[in-house]
Amino acid sequence: MLNSTLSKLKSKLSGTTSIANKAIEEVTQELNVKLESEASNNLQLQTKNAVKVATSVARNLVDLNRDGKVDKEDLRHAVEKAGFVWDRIDSDLKEALLVGGVAGMAVNTIPLLGQFAAVPTFAGATAVFFVKAKMSAISVRKIIREEKKKDIVDED
């Protein structure tokens, strides 16, 4: 019975689409932002991919130098062990993975439940911070477009 319940809980917590959708929903509500459908679709696809990477990385993430924290060196090793190339990973995803690593390692220290919840926590935290970074980039691009439109109108 306990194994069945834990399996159900784990599948709910670790579904790529579920984590990506929850992250996007949480960030859009927090920032009170509505995305155009194309931007929303792109963000959803990018976030799903980020969650897949984060899930793979989380399974390989350890505090290599035993300094009590997950740092860039630990993350880089986990990324490469998961089969990804560090230099080819999106810079926003790298930063989000660092934040996710901190959250995942913190949860991992809780007896019994910790190891079970560490991967979904890592993936979820990574997704939220990845979405925030991408939303910021979308906002900046939108502001730039609006400024360019103003410049064109002012010239007329």
* Number of helices and strands in the chain (H, E): 6, 0
Phi and psi based region of residue 95 (left: phi greater than 0; alpha: psi -120 to 50; beta: remaining): alpha
Dist CA 71 CA 136 (whole Å): 24
What confidence score (pLDDT) does residue 104 get? 63
pLDDT of residue 115: 58
Q: Does an H or E element contain 46, and which?
A: helix 37-58
DSSP-derived letter for residue 111 is T
Q: What pLDDT score was predicted for residue 8?
A: 45
pLDDT, one tens digit per residue, over 17-36 is 888 889 989 988 888 888 88
Q: Report the pLDDT value the prediction gives residue 85, as an integer from 0 to 100.
A: 92
**What is the model's pLDDT at position 84?**
92
Interior angle at CA 80, CA 91 and CA 62, nearest 5? 95
User: What pTM does this model have?
Assistant: 0.71
Residues in the chain where the model's pLDDT stays below 70:
1-14, 102-117, 143-146, 148-156
